[in-house]
Amino acid sequence: MSYLVCVLLFGLMVGSVGVASNPSPYFAAMGLVMVSGVGCGVLICFGGSFLPLVFFLIYLGGMMVEFAFSAALSAEPYPYGWGNRSVKMYVAAYVLGVGCAWKVLLGKWSGFWGGILDESGELLVLRGDMMGVAAMHDVGGWILVLGGLGLLLTLFVVLELVRGVSRGGLRTV
Amino acid sequence: MTPIQMTFSTNFLLGLMGLTFHRTHLLSALLRLESMMLSLFLATSLWALQLSTINIATVPMLVLAFSACSASSGLRLLVATARTHGSDHMQNLNLLQC
């Protein structure tokens, strides 16, 4: 099981290097999809049940859909993938930097791979993180209301930003 | 530092460095901002899971909600840029230059 965590952490690093090196947004969104899928797996390996599902749902189903159709606004005829020379140089620089940082900072560390996996050893329905989110609805009711009001405000902000015709953030287009 | 903490810390720093050394598109800068928020979600969720402090599990949910707000605002600015400048290339955003 700790090898699975190793593989997933490696997948996280590969995905985030793929986003951070400067490909075209089509491919950077693919890297972010990989990071969110693998991050969901990492959270599951550490005992979560509700939070990884929320993570997967919101990042893949919410944000990546938005970024995918906004990528049509940044269309170009020859998008830079990871085979392009300048992108490969960024990838090499980031991999080198991450490798040096890992060597320096993890060099003194020895032991197992930080594996809190499961304390009880049996299948549970109500896990800890689900109880934490339930606490947000129970004693944290006001922050939930404030968060909802903030999201509603963001909706109106966004609508006003793209209104156009000399009202809002655009010129008369 | 255990490997998992190292992983999300380097994930955050890689997103930050990618945001600093952006090249052409505004959308790729927004994507790196999203990867930073993703690493923050991972960090706070692992805090709740590894240390068994269950009430901290509210923090990733709220961080996710507000990062969705910021992502949507950024994307609407991208739409506005594409409508006025024709594309989202950063070199077109030069109205403050002489």
A-B CB pairs within 8 A amount to 214
By the 8 A CB rule, do A9 and A82 touch?
Answer: no
**pTM score, two decimals?**
0.88
Distances from the Cα of B88 to the Cα of A91, A167, B26, B91, angstroms: 24, 21, 6, 9
Residues in chain A: 173
What domain count does chain A have?
1
Whether A167 is in a domain gets the answer no
CA nearest neighbour of B11 among B3, A53, B62, A115: B3
Q: Is B44 on the interface with A (CB under 8 A)?
A: no
In a domain, A109, yes or no: no
Q: Distance between CA atoms of A16 and B15, rounded to whole angstroms?
A: 7
| Residue B16: both structure tokens together | 């930050």
CB contact set of A105 (below 8 Å; sequence gap of 6+): B1, B6
Q: Which of B28, B61, B88 sits opposite A22 (nearest CB)?
A: B28
Q: Residue A129 is which amino acid?
A: D
Q: What residues make up the domain containing A6?
A: 1-99
Q: What is the mean pLDDT of the segment spanning A110-122?
A: 53
Write down all domains in chain B, each with its CATH number in brackets.
Answer: 1-92 (1.10.287.3510)
Chain B closest CA to A53's CA: distance in Å?
Answer: 11
**Nearest-CA residue of chain A relative to B5?**
A114
pLDDT bracket for residue A32 (50, 70, 90): very high
Q: What per-residue confidence (pLDDT) applies to A40?
A: 93
Distance, CA of B31 to CA of B70 (rounded, Å): 12
Is B32:B15 a contact under the CB 8 Å cutoff? yes
Say what the ipTM of the complex is: 0.88
Q: How confident is the model at residue A163 (pLDDT cuts 50, 70, 90)?
A: confident
DSSP-H helix ranges across A21-113: 25-45, 50-56, 64-70, 85-106
- Among the partner residues B41, B54, B75, nearest to A131 by beta-carbon distance: B54
Q: Tell me which residue of A105, A28, A98 sits closest to B22, measured CA to CA.
A: A28
